[in-house]
Amino acid sequence: MVERIEQSLPRRSRLNVETALASALFLALLIQVGLRIHLVGKGYEVAAVQNELLEYDAELRQLRADYASLHRPARLKQIAKSHGLSAMGEGQIRYIEERRGL
């Protein structure tokens, strides 16, 4: 194709076509490099978000373990006993009838 262009165009026009082709190729190369740099940056962002997700997941597992430990029935009974609380017996609950008109 280049040979055909060379044969059909005068020297000055041929130089303009070659310059235009070289410019287009250079522009395409710059776009490719720019996209590659952008892609690498996004890759680092994805890796950072994945690491953050792993940290949050580990923290969630720890919090669930703490919650399960703190809400063990045996532990709650021990704390209640240390504060002088015991299971309710008869007569400890009284129902009060609602008075209307107060």
Domain residue ranges of the chain, discontinuous segments joined by +: 2-80
Please give the helix or strand (H or E) that residue 78 lies within, else none: helix 73-82
14 contacts 6 by C-beta, under 8 angstroms: yes
pLDDT on residue 63 = 98
Average pLDDT, 10 consecutive residues per value, the chain (102 residues):
58 84 96 98 98 98 97 93 89 82 64
Query: Against a cut of 0.85, is the pTM above it?
Result: no
How high is the pLDDT of residue 12? 74
Give the number of other CB atoms < 10 A from CB of residue 55: 10
Residues 70, 62 contacting (CB under 8 angstroms) = no
Q: What is the pLDDT of residue 88?
A: 85
User: What's residue 9's pLDDT?
Assistant: 58
